[in-house]
Amino acid sequence: MLNKRKVTGIRNWPGEDRPREKLLRKGPGALTNSELLAILLRTGVAGMSAIDLGRQMVEKFGSFRNMSHSDMREWKEIKGLGPAKIAQVMAALEIGRRFREDEALIARRKIESAQDLVEIVLPQLRDRKTEVSKVAFLNSDNGIIDIGDAAAGTVNHAEPIIREIFHAALQKYAAAIICIHNHPSGNTTPSLEDRAFTRELFAAGKIMGIKVLDHIIVGGDTFYSFANDGMLE
């Protein structure tokens, strides 16, 4: 059966076995390294599927880290890999490297003002058509531990959201948090629900021993900070 698949190519495999369909159905975490590479390579060569090529790459280099540190001579030793396919994989590896670099820079960053956090999350929130809430979890020096999505819901159903926020903060050993969400309308004026949510969040933080440093509302390229406005006292 395996030999038949090598000859016929991935397009003739059952749908549930094809890497692209498997990724869309189960998520990228369900794929092997060879299957992920097959999606990048797109096609195989005569007598060899894209997964076979991917498997050769994994066997030769051992890990994506080793791939990223290999020179062109090593790549050319793999039968069936031409310049286009090599370029596709090398570009993906570089994207991964830059992503890790960005994460490391964020992790080392210290939040000293609302502007500091807005600069990080604004690209993710600026043009969203629906309201999205995020939470920055900080250590005792206001360094970023993590920035994650808040529990699904809206601020006028605050209690379960607040409970989940502090549950996550405890799991991450956070000393402080900052909540931030967008107003798709672009108007950053806090609503009555925003104000009520912030009061409840601040009160819960006192009980839990976790500082609530701010609640920020983003709209377009501007933002509103409850802390800057003296509304967290």
Predicted confidence at residue 2, as pLDDT, reads 43
Of 130-139, 157-166, 215-224, the least confident: 157-166
Angle between helices 83-108 and 33-41 (to 10 degrees): 120
**Is the per-residue pLDDT at 32 higher than 70?**
yes
Predicted confidence at residue 5, as pLDDT, reads 45
CA separation for the pair 38, 152 (Å, rounded): 35
> What residues pair up with 134 in beta bridges, in sequence order?
149, 180
CA separation for the pair 31, 40 (Å, rounded): 13
What is the DSSP secondary structure assignment for residue 219, as one 8-state letter? Answer: E
> Which range has highest mean pLDDT (4-18, 19-33, 155-169)?
19-33
CA separation for the pair 67, 56 (Å, rounded): 12
Fold of 2-107: DNA polymerase; domain 1 (1.10.150)
Instruction: Give the start-end residues of each E strand in 39-170.
Output: 133-138, 144-149
Q: What does the block give as tokens for 152? A: 């699904």
Question: For 145-169, b where at least 16 C-beta lie within 10 A, e where not — what string?
Answer: bbbeebbeeebeebeebbeebbebb
Please state which architecture CATH assigns to domain 111-225: 3-Layer(aba) Sandwich (3.40)
Give mean pLDDT, residues 77-96: 88
Predicted confidence at residue 144, as pLDDT, reads 92
CA distances to 53, 142, 166, 171, 194 from 146, rounded to whole Å, are 37, 11, 14, 11, 23
Label the pairing between strands 211-219 and 222-225: antiparallel
Question: Which parts of 134-210 fold into alpha helices (H)?
Answer: 158-171, 192-208
What is the band of 7 on the pLDDT scale with cuts at 50, 70, 90?
A: very low
> For residue range 125-143, what is the model confidence (pLDDT) as tens digits?
877 788 889 999 999 999 9
Share of the chain above pLDDT 70, in %: 85
What is the band of 232 on the pLDDT scale with cuts at 50, 70, 90?
A: confident
When the pLDDT of each residue in the chain is averaged and rounded to a whole number, the result is 84
What is the band of 169 on the pLDDT scale with cuts at 50, 70, 90?
A: very high
Task: Spell out the domain ranges in the chain.
Answer: 2-107, 111-225
> Residue type for 114, please?
A
